[in-house]
Amino acid sequence: MTESSPEQGAAPSFAVIPGAQVQHVLDGRHREVVELIETAYRLHGEGQTVNPPSYFLRFPDRPSARIIALPASVGGDVRTDGLKWISSFPENVGRSIPRASAVLILNDHDTGYPLACLESSIISAARTAASATLAAERIADARGVRPTRIGFFGTGLIARYVHGFLAGTGWTFDEIGVYDLAVEHAAGFEEYLHRFGERGPVTRHQDAEALIRSSDLVVFATVAGTPHITDPAWFDHDPLVLHLSLRDLAPEVVLAATNIVDDVDHCLKAATSLHLAEQFTGHRNFVAGTLYDVLTGTLRPQTGRPVVFSPFGLGVLDLALGRHVYDTIVASDELRVVDGFFHDMRRYG
Instruction: Please give, one letter per residue, the 3-state secondary structure of 76-93.
Output: CCCCEEEEEEEEECHHHH
Question: In 3D, which of 183, 127, 186 has the Cα closest to residue 158?
Answer: 127
- Model pLDDT for residues 314-324, shown as the tens digit of each residue: 999 999 999 99
Mean local confidence (pLDDT), 289-302: 97
Mean pLDDT (the chain) is 95
Distance CA 278, CA 286 (A): 8
Give the CATH number of domain 130-310; options: 3.40.33.10, 3.40.50.720, 3.40.50.11030, 3.30.9.90: 3.40.50.720
| Distance separating alpha carbons of residues 100 and 118, to the nearest angstrom | 15
| Beta strand spans in 109-216 (E) | 114-119, 149-153, 175-179, 202-204
- Averaged pLDDT for residues 98-118: 95
Band of pLDDT at residue 346, cut at 50, 70 and 90: confident
CA distance 53 to 75: 18
Amino acid identity of 344? D
Cα separation values, 7 from 3, 13, 111, 219, 343, Å:
10, 11, 11, 48, 16
Q: Each residue of 207-236: b (16+ CB within 10 Å) or e?
A: ebeebbbbbbbbbbbbbbeebebeebebbe
Rank 1-5, 9-13, 24-28 by mean pLDDT and report only the highest.
24-28
Phi-psi region of 152 (alpha: psi -120 to 50; beta: other; left: phi over 0): beta
Q: Is the pLDDT of residue 257 over 60?
A: yes
pLDDT at 9: 56
- What is the model's pTM? 0.93
pLDDT tens for residues 163-218?
A: 999 999 999 999 999 999 999 999 999 999 999 999 889 999 999 999 999 999 99
Q: Percent of the chain beyond pLDDT 90?
A: 89
What's the whole-number mean pLDDT along residues 331-345?
Answer: 92
Q: Region 75-79: what's the mean pLDDT?
A: 95
What's residue 2's pLDDT? 44
Which amino acid would we find at residue 162? V
Give percent above pLDDT 70 in the chain.
97
Q: Which residue in 262, 161, 150, 271 sits closest to 212, CA to CA?
A: 150
Domain 15-123+315-331: which CATH number of 3.30.428.10, 3.50.50.60, 3.30.1780.10, 3.20.20.60: 3.30.1780.10
Res 107: pLDDT = 96
User: Would you state the pLDDT for residue 1?
Assistant: 34
Q: Is the pLDDT of residue 305 over 50?
A: yes
Domain ranges of the chain: 15-123+315-331, 130-310
Backbone angles phi, psi at 334, to 5 degrees: -120, 20
Cβ-contact 176, 150 below 8 angstroms:
yes
pLDDT bracket for residue 94 (50, 70, 90) = confident
Q: Flag whether pLDDT at 75 surpasses 50.
A: yes
The confidence score (pLDDT) of residue 108 equals: 93
